Structure 1
Amino acid sequence: MKIRLRKLSIILICAFISLNITNPINAKASWIYTTITTGFQKQERTNWCWVASARNMAVTKVSKVNVVKSQSNVVQIIKGSIKNETGSLRETSKAIKIFNVSCKSSYKFARLSFKTLKEKINKGGGVIMAMQNPLYGGHAVLLYGYDSNGKVKVYDPKKGPIICRYTDLRDGKTLSGYSYEQSIYY
């Protein structure tokens, strides 16, 4: 009886170790990034996540952004004066072009699949994720990296860098309940 119990214990321990080693949660993931991942800025005013994210997206494409343009300069060009106002997808796309004339962005009134987001990152550009919260309105963040386990690296111009699961970001389980709804990309 002791021998059977000992064999059963060994089998259970081996099974546990085997499951633990092959569990994807424990596996080390390799990260894939946009071309440039430094030099991101926080938003200068409370409603300027859109223009900060536009600037940060322009940075991912080239090593030098048009440094004479600040967030305030771009807001003045787009809005006609320096107003602490939110921006539309169209205005955000226009801001990207002002920060970096070589950037041509597109926007989509829908979220991109994780597969498509990875393709955009693999091409060297970030994706601005337009987030929505029924209580607080909209917010823009920049997706600039992902790993093989479904996690993403996002730069929130209000809070700084964030790592979370794509599905949690999509479904509003991070960023104070904001869920991913629309996209701007290269």
Structure 2
Amino acid sequence: MAGIVRLARLRDQGRTFYAVLEEGERVREIAGDPFEGDPFAAAAGATGGSRPTGGLAWLPPCRPSKIIGVGRNYRDHVAELGHSVPEEPLLFLKPPSSLLAHGGVIRLPSDSRRVDFEGELGVVIGREARRVPEAGALDYVLGYACVNDVTARDLQASDVQFTRAKGFDSFCPFGPCIAIGLPPDDLVVETFVNGTRRQSAPVSRM
């Protein structure tokens, strides 16, 4: 899509850098850390040379201070579970230590017998915000990313809250990039397991 910038974070022989993902599995490096200034402008102004992604290690595309999840966020899923849509958002936190880069391996905990995938649309906040009115909320959104909210379903059922079930290391695959300038309204979130589509739902059903 025209006008969309895909921001990635990679490592090359111990050196970490941000880059814009281009067509043909190539990247163009961004000077410095875009999140130390204006990431919107930095991503749009990448001036480094273009290079192939082969031989580079993918990292989570940013380093969030926290990861906020919203439970029961799809109407169809809520109905399937026999629940009602909550009047207030059902929020939970995943620790930054749960992040996993594109292509990484999810490590299954020994104390769980049922680990599930949950494909989600990740919303990446690009600047510091607090108590933002709903009308201005999108002004703080840098972009959107693919996220897998991996969950130990049996532990979720036995615990009062979600921290253990959703907080294991590697339980938040994130990336490979942040799509900046992507209109979210018509997006469809799809999840594939071993090449088979297991989830498909439009964002409009949230």
TM-score of the pair, normalised by structure 2: 0.26
Of structures 1 and 2, the one scoring higher in RCO (CA 8 A, sep 6+) is 1
TM-score of the pair, normalised by structure 1: 0.28
Q: Going by fraction, where is strand more abundant, 1 or 2?
A: 2
Q: Going by fraction, where is helix more abundant, 1 or 2?
A: 1
